[in-house]
Amino acid sequence: MKLNYLLSTLAVSFGLAKASTDFFKNVKRAEIFEKTEFNMPTIRINFSEESYNRFHLTYKCLYDTHPLIDNENEDCFTAPWVNYTEVVSSLVSKQYLTTTKLSEKQKKLIGDPNLSYDNFKSIVATGSSISLKEIFSQKHTIVNIPSFEDKKASLDFTLNGETIKKDSIKFSIGGKYTQIFEKQQFNIKINKGELLGRQQLRLRSEVVDPSFLRSKIGYDLSNILGFPSVQASYALVYINDDYMGLYLLRDIYKTQWIEYNYGIANTTSLYKCDSKYGTSYYFNCVNDDTEVMDDAFKEFIKKLEKAKNTTELSKFFDVDLYIKWQAFKYIVGSWDHVTNMHNQYVFYNGKKWMNFLYDFDSDFGAYKTPNSAQSFTSESLEMSYPLYKVLGLSNTHQTLVANIKSMVFNGFNPVKLIPRIDELMEYLYPYILEDRTPENETTQRPGHLVRPDFKIENGFTIDDHLKNAEFHNYFIKKYENTKDYTIDEIYGLKRWIIERFRYICSKYSIDCSFAKEYLEGGSYVLPSKDSTKVEMEQHLGGCMNTGYSCCSNPNAYVYTTDITGNWSIEGNYWCLIVKDVKTTTTTTTTTTTTTTTTTTTTTTTTKAAETTSAADDDCWSLERGYPCCVSATKVYYTSQNGKTWSVENGDWCGIRDTPATTTTTTTTTTTTTTTTTQAEATKQPAKEPQQNHKPGKWW
Ligand SMILES: *[C@@H]1O[C@H](CO)[C@@H](O)[C@H](O)[C@H]1NC(C)=O
Ligand SMILES: *[C@@H]1O[C@H](CO)[C@@H](O)[C@H](O)[C@H]1NC(C)=O
Ligand SMILES: *[C@@H]1O[C@H](CO)[C@@H](O)[C@H](O)[C@H]1NC(C)=O
Ligand SMILES: *[C@@H]1O[C@H](CO)[C@@H](O)[C@H](O)[C@H]1NC(C)=O
Ligand SMILES: *[C@@H]1O[C@H](CO)[C@@H](O)[C@H](O)[C@H]1NC(C)=O
Ligand SMILES: *[C@@H]1O[C@H](CO)[C@@H](O)[C@H](O)[C@H]1NC(C)=O
Ligand SMILES: *[C@@H]1O[C@H](CO)[C@@H](O)[C@H](O)[C@H]1NC(C)=O
């Protein structure tokens, strides 16, 4: 307490004086976020020597045993997570180990729970049909490298020269899709007590966001708009003596968060959601404590399915909050918060069920094909969802439109957000500069680990921060193979806010004269989109430049077919089936970045957009933000309205009602169920278009 008091007086006398005075007016934020607003803390996570070594060995082995890298590294054979008893048992069950070849002594060792490395090696040498390197390769699922965690780390939190020590924290790796990037994300739980009002913290790398600001603006906005929501600021992070860079520091919906916000201690009614947990069009969630979809939740879904109108829904479901979130999703242009998918928690407070959203790094027009000038009805991915139908959500829904209006007045407007972005940019500049230096060798940057997958987002620079926080829209051409590509567009943050604001004001007839300088023809000049276009290209290595390896077996079972070719699965990864493996693997990965305003590039992009969107009328999935399938015909998902979906280039595509002329059909893969259990588990992709996902990341 004494220390807290000291810290807060210090903060008042130095740090906080710089912060914008009234952005959070009337908003109560947790002490940790109030104190670190425009006042950079240092978080030092301390592992024991054993743990620190295991942390680095984990990433070294994830690299060396990856199918694309395939290095022999004996340290991975003797890593602390390897249990030779289990490896041998797996070799036997997968029929790689012929036990009859073993000596009597070796046979006896097979079930020994203490099997040593030396004995294991001798068993493999005598009876295994595959080598040690193969056994440990992720082409197989014999040895699994566990995600790093340390339940007994410690943490020092330093602000204004004062340090708070937490002797016991649980540290783990955060995120899902983002785990393939160089800069990892971390989860922290204080084992006893809390740190300035929070027990659970998240450190986020913001790697997919060139501006580094989207999440912060998203959480700040949700705070000032009165949502029960996560809060955020920034922190510099060290692991032992290694500087890991700049991170977004935020909290998370957990039992403690419920207690802070609803005064309900030790709740067992908090649920985390992800479409991998079920197939409902409402919510797919498991209890956050028990990780199972319990009866209470199943009852909730049944009630949702029965409810005929808003009045009925309101009896057990917080409809007001739900509609408010839908309005929020619309203003920020969210495509990654579809109701029956992820980035969401659900909570039952004893009277009503309610939902909470988080993770805004792909909002404000980031990724896929954003369009600021779209109405709620034309933009929403959920118009055919039952909850939208029962509630009647559309451009003419009164409560929804009232919410959009009030959000425009209270937060989502350039008067509020443009100066906010400016002050954040000024504050963060030196930290982002340090975080993104050196420019060219990204693995030399703080916190960047050497990873097997090449990702262009690893290399965003300080210049990208400056440009993308303002008006520069990024167009990232991502090659799926040597010639085919998709384009991701990432709006300049200020541009998105101004353009969507203008559109909403006009579309929903809102009097936005309070921000007239930002309206069309106002004194604030928005540079043209063409003059602020940044184009990048991502070329992958691997088999035929797909970023994946070629299958070891040219006659492997075909799981899916797309424009690149036929795909199979090895271990936890997709592999491309090619008949002549030798000539197809390249290891070079090159990128080019061009900032240009020439007409030549504009033409290229227009052409590309046409190519990827097939520019035709019968492609119904375009309006849902997905292309139609070029050749895939296997149905992975059927929408309520009967439309069918398949997968191409690692993303969803809609199957045309009438096959297009270009379609080379009859490649329907018959799903014979004679495959191994491993492959069985990986065959069915999650019913969820994940951002930039590749097939290998579906489960
Ligand atoms: C970090 O942990 C190590 C081993 O537990 C210990 O020797 C060292 O003093 C700790 N350092 C800090 C800064 O807490
Ligand atoms: C290795 O696995 C076996 C079989 O599951 C188990 O009995 C044994 O305790 C494990 N050894 C270690 C060191 O965890
Ligand atoms: C297995 O190893 C453990 C710890 O190293 C030891 O306590 C135990 O006695 C060993 N068991 C056998 C059967 O050798
Ligand atoms: C919540 O759980 C903690 C730890 O089990 C316990 O100390 C505390 O008394 C509980 N609080 C309530 C209100 O039940
Ligand atoms: C909602 O549905 C219930 C049951 O079908 C019905 O009794 C009620 O009148 C409906 N309310 C409204 C406002 O339509
Ligand atoms: C990065 O590489 C490019 C092209 O190789 C070069 O022109 C540029 O000067 C390099 N930048 C830095 C900061 O080294
Ligand atoms: C894909 O597999 C089918 C048979 O399953 C074969 O006819 C076709 O030629 C293969 N395509 C490529 C590109 O290898």
Whole-number pLDDT of residue 653: 77
Q: Identify the residue with better confidence: 658 or 570.
A: 570
Q: How far is the CA of 679 from the centre of ligand 7 (A)?
A: 20
Structure-token match 């006042």, residue found: 39
Range from 67-76, 283-292, 663-672 carrying the lowest mean pLDDT: 663-672
Q: What percent of the chain has pLDDT over 90?
A: 77
Domains delineated in the chain: 50-140 (no CATH), 268-410 (no CATH), 414-539 (no CATH), 548-582 (3.90.1220.10), 622-655 (3.90.1220)
R_g of the chain computed on alpha carbons? 26
Q: How far is the CA of 307 from the centre of ligand 5 (A)?
A: 9
Over the stretch 643-665, which tens digit does the pLDDT of each residue have?
777 777 666 778 877 533 332 22
Pick the residue whose CA is nearest to atom 6 on ligand 2.
113
Range from 64-68, 169-173, 620-624, 671-675 carrying the lowest mean pLDDT: 671-675
The ligand that comes nearest to the alpha carbon of residue 153 is 1
Pick the residue whose CA is nearest to atom 9 on ligand 2.
113
Whole-number pLDDT of residue 579: 86
Q: How far is the CA of 114 from the centre of ligand 3 (A)?
A: 6
User: For residues 618 and 660, what is the distance between their CA atoms, to the nearest angstrom?
Assistant: 9
Whether residue 195 contacts residue 164, with contact meaning beta carbons closer than 8 Å, is answered with: yes
User: What's the token pair of residue 20?
Assistant: 């914008």
Q: From the CB of 48, is ligand 1 less than 6 Å away? A: yes
| Range list of β-strands (E), 539-590 | 542-543, 549-550, 560-561, 566-570, 573-576, 585-586
Q: What pTM was computed for the model?
A: 0.84
Q: From the CB of 114, is ligand 2 less than 6 Å away? A: no
Whether residue 225 contacts residue 328, with contact meaning beta carbons closer than 8 Å, is answered with: yes
Q: From the CB of 392, is ligand 5 less than 6 Å away? A: no
Pick the residue whose CA is nearest to atom 12 on ligand 2.
83
The ligand that comes nearest to the alpha carbon of residue 109 is 3
Q: From the CB of 306, is ligand 5 less than 6 Å away? A: no
Whether residue 520 contacts residue 502, with contact meaning beta carbons closer than 8 Å, is answered with: yes
Q: How far is the CA of 440 from the centre of ligand 7 (A)?
A: 40
Residue type, 375: S
How does DSSP classify residue 394? Answer: S
The ligand that comes nearest to the alpha carbon of residue 113 is 2
Q: Which residues contact 31 (CB under 8 A, 6 or more apart)?
A: 4, 8, 196, 197
User: What's the token pair of residue 680?
Assistant: 């069985």
Average pLDDT over residues 426-438: 98
Average pLDDT over residues 416-434: 98
Say how many C-beta atoms besides its own lie within 10 A of residue 531's C-beta.
11
User: For residues 156 and 8, what is the distance between their CA atoms, to the nearest angstrom?
Assistant: 17
Pick the residue whose CA is nearest to atom 1 on ligand 6.
440
Q: How far is the CA of 580 from the centre of ligand 7 (A)?
A: 13
User: For residues 269 and 278, what is the distance between their CA atoms, to the nearest angstrom?
Assistant: 18
Report which ligand 4 atom has the smallest distance to the Cα of 266.
1
- Classify strands 232-239 and 42-46 as parallel, antiparallel or unpaired: parallel
Predicted confidence band of residue 673 (pLDDT cuts 50, 70, 90): very low
User: What's the token pair of residue 647?
Assistant: 């997968």
Over the stretch 203-222, which tens digit does the pLDDT of each residue have?
999 999 999 999 999 999 99
Q: From the CB of 439, is ligand 6 less than 6 Å away? A: yes
The alpha carbon torsion through 505, 509, 515, 517 (nearest 10 deg) reads 80
Pick the residue whose CA is nearest to atom 1 on ligand 5.
309
Q: How far is the CA of 90 from the centre of ligand 2 (A)?
A: 13
Q: From the CB of 266, is ligand 4 less than 6 Å away? A: yes
The ligand that comes nearest to the alpha carbon of residue 313 is 5
Q: From the CB of 463, is ligand 6 less than 6 Å away? A: no
